[in-house]
Amino acid sequence: MSLFSRDPILLTPGPLTTSLPTKAAMLRDWGSWDASFNAVTAGVRRKLLAIVHGEETHVCVPMQGSGTFSVEAAVNTLVPRDGHVLVLINGAYGTRLAKLTRMMGRRLSTFETPEDVPTTPQDVDRLLAADPSITHVGLIHCETSTGILNPLPEIAAVVARHGRSLIVDAMSSFAALPIDARSVPFDALIAASGKCVEGPPGMGFVFVRRAVLEQCAGRSTSLALDLHDQWTYMEKTTQWRFTPPTHIVVALDAALDQLGAEGGQPARLARYAKNCETLVGGMAELGFRVFLEPGIQAPIIVTFHAPADPNYEFKPFYDCVRDKGFVLYPGKLTQVETFRVGCIGAIGPDEMRHAVNAVRDTLAQMGIRQVSPAVV
């Protein structure tokens, strides 16, 4: 039975399902230079910074656009033009970080592990000891292409011990997994509105160590993506340099208030962990196997091996589950066929159970009998 009469539940890593109060916040129009909107922007920056406990050391610089815009802004602003970036890769977003670093003319080295193998602090220690020219390390905290969790605190400690700068893509982990700037040394950490904060997509933000950002005037090769210019202009005027995503900002403000009311990051992690547990357990009963080992699986998005049955094709499978009210995500692996299911958003274990039931009914409807992968 089709559920097109209501919005489908987005089991994706963003955009994701938002709450009614978050949606309702977007029903009002705001003047981009109006003092009341500027006050909302300041409040959002303050609330975001508090999540990583960075008030004493870092600043929050919001940017228009998707999270990738802010990743590019961070690299282009913080890495000197003669800098050397080591990018740690075990998925598509590490590959993207390496690509944009190269495109901006910075010297690049990469260290790549398989998609189901996290980078270790021992790897980073060895690489930095071997090449003193490396100035910056780029790390994906939770690699959205699989859901693998890389050991941020341990890697950050190694980078700091070597006196290098750490840039962290925390797009899929911020506000769900614990990140504390007081104990985890990083010069930049990047996230976005449409992930675990549970706002709509359209705004990224970068937490930058203030002492570092103060030294970055004129470094960016982009006008729109200049974090230093954005920060100094906001500090001076309280305004955005260019037209801000007004509706996204006020919706994010509402989402942040709901995050606080829920109990902050620990409570959100607990809900997502329960979502993940419900999903993985239910899918296992249907015969599905996860791609990652439990010890490296973040409760953000889960990658499943695709059924080995000849009747399985992802697009009809997706469409059938979509007709039942749930939007899945295609796999992003090259070595095996997979699909992904997100555990984040304004949803709970009940929605995850209903999603598993939708998958069960889809298997029967498509005549898929062999669910387990042929080779694991």
Q: Write the pLDDT tens digit of every residue in 41-71.
A: 999 999 999 999 999 999 999 999 999 999 9
- Peptide bond preceding 118: is omega within 30 degrees of 0, i.e. cis? no
- From CA 97, how far away is CA 88, in angstroms rounded? 9
Query: How far is it, in rounded angstroms, from Cα 362 to Cα 91?
Result: 29
19 class by beta-carbon count within 10 Å (0-12 exposed, 13-18 middle, 19+ buried) = middle
8 Å CB contact between 31 and 37:
yes
- Which pLDDT band holds residue 372 (cuts at 50, 70, 90)? confident
pLDDT digits (tens, 9 = 90+) for 221-245: 999 999 999 999 999 999 999 999 9
Residues in the chain, overall count: 376
pLDDT, one tens digit per residue, over 74-92 is 999 999 999 999 999 999 9
Task: Tell the burial category of 32 from Cβ atoms under 10 Å away from its Cβ (0-12, 13-18, 19+).
Answer: middle
Question: DSSP label at 290?
Answer: B
Place of tokens 């997994």: 177
Residues 6+ apart with CB under 8 A from 363: 286, 307, 369, 371
Instruction: Give the residue from 75, 235, 256 showing the smallest Cα distance to 169.
Output: 75
Q: Give residue-wise pLDDT tens across range 180-216.
A: 999 999 999 999 999 999 999 999 999 999 999 999 9
Q: What angle is formed at CA 158 by the lines to CA 156 and CA 159, rounded to 5 degrees?
A: 65
Q: How many CB atoms lie within 10 A of CB 217?
A: 12
Please tell me the distance from the alpha carbon of residue 192 to that of residue 93, in angstroms, as a whole number: 14
Mean pLDDT to the nearest integer, 162-178: 98
Chain centre distance of CA 150: 13
Reported as a single tens digit per residue, the pLDDT across 95-153 is 999 999 999 999 999 999 999 999 999 999 999 999 999 999 999 999 999 999 999 99
pLDDT at 14 over 90: no
Between CA 244 and CA 41 the distance in angstroms is 10
d(CA 135, CA 166): 9
DSSP 167: E
297/276 Cα distance (integer angstroms): 10
Residue 374 pLDDT level (bands cut at 50, 70, 90): low
CB 253 within 8 A of CB 43: yes
pLDDT band of 4, cuts 50, 70, 90: very low
- Please enumerate in sequence order all residues whose Cβ is within 8 A of that of 233, keeping only pairs 6 or more positions apart, or say none: 239, 240, 241
Q: How wide is the angle at C-alpha 161 spanned by C-alphas 155 and 163, nearest 5°?
A: 105
Which amino acid is it at 36? S
Summary mean pLDDT of the chain = 96
pLDDT in tens, 260-311: 999 999 999 999 999 999 999 999 999 999 999 999 999 999 999 999 999 9
CA distance linking residue 122 with residue 341, whole number of Å: 31
Which domains can be identified in the chain, with CATH numbers? 9-16+264-366 (3.90.1150.10), 20-261 (3.40.640.10)
What pLDDT was estimated at residue 258?
98
Q: Is the pTM of the predicted complex or chain greater than 0.85? A: yes
